[in-house]
Amino acid sequence: MLMRILAVGDVCGKAGLDHLARALPALRRSRGIDFAVVNGENANVVGVTPAQCEELFKSGADVVTLGNHTWTRTEMRDYLARSTRVLRPANYAPQCPGQGVGVYETRFGPIRVINAMGRFTLDANTDNPFVVVDSIVAEEDIKITLVDFHAEATSEKLAMGYFLEGRASAVWGTHTHVQTSDCQVLEGGTGYITDLGMTGPSRSVLGIEIEQSIGKMLGDPPRRYNPAGGKCKMECALFELESETGRCVSAEALRVE
C-alpha cells in the first residue's frame, strides 16, 4: 500500500501562515496526503511562538519541525518541554527542552520523524548531526523514517541524503528557502531534495522585504526584519512510500500559489 508524505518548506511570517491555512488543507484533499511535516521555525519571521505552532496544526500539519531559531522566543521552552508534535534539532545539547525525534502512530504503522541541524555557518553549538542521526536510526527498527535536515550548505545536505540512503524513507533540506531542482529517489529507496523552499511571499528575499534585504547587503545598520507582502507560495515535496517496506517509490517537488 502506498503512503503519501508531504514535507512543507519554512513558513515565513503571517503571510506564510495565512497561505498555509489556505493551501495545505486543499492539497491534502486533492493529493490524498496521509502525513504532513511542516517546518515552522520562521512563522514569527525569526522564530515561532506556541500560538503559531497551534495554527500550523490547525492548518493540517501533523508534525512541526524547527531549526536555528528554535530559542528566539523564550516562551517556546516550556511549550517544547510538553509538546510531542513539535521537534527541535536532535543535535542540540541534551539539557535543552524538547525532543528532536518523535514516533507517531498511523494506520500504516509507526512513522519516525527526525529533526537535525547542520553546522556549516550555523554557529549554534550543536553536536555532530551525522553521529546523532546515525545513533537514532540504529536505536529502533522502524520502517518509515523521515528526516528534516535544517542546514545551510548544499554539500552538507547532500552528504546527509547519501549517508541515510536505504536507511531513511525520505530526507529533505530546509533553512535556505530556495527550492532546489533535485527532487529524486536515491538508488537505495530514499526520497531526497536538497531544499524544500519556503511558504511565504513570492516577491521577497527569503520572505523579507526586497528593499530591506538589498540595504543589508549595501551595509545599512541592522534592524528588525520586515516581512514582505503580496502573493504567496507554498513550496513542498511529495514522497510516495511503500508502507510495508518504507521505501520511497516517487518524489515530486510542488509549488502552490
What integer pLDDT is reported at residue 121 of this predicted model?
86
- Select which of 69, 150, 175, 177 is catalytic: 69
Spatial neighbors of 99 by CB under 8 A, at least 6 apart, are 80, 84, 87, 88, 90
Q: Which helix (H) or strand (E) holds 249?
A: strand 248-256
Average pLDDT of every residue of the chain: 96
CB of 233 closer than 8 Å to CB of 204: no
Which residues in the chain land under pLDDT 50? none
What integer pLDDT is reported at residue 176 of this predicted model?
97
What integer pLDDT is reported at residue 61 of this predicted model?
98
Active site residue 69: yes
What integer pLDDT is reported at residue 157 of this predicted model?
98
Q: Taking the complete model, does pTM exceed 0.75, yes or no?
A: yes
Q: Give the chain's domains with CATH numbers.
A: 2-256 (3.60.21.10)
CB of 3 closer than 8 Å to CB of 31: no
Over the stretch 205-225, which tens digit does the pLDDT of each residue have?
A: 999 999 999 999 999 998 989
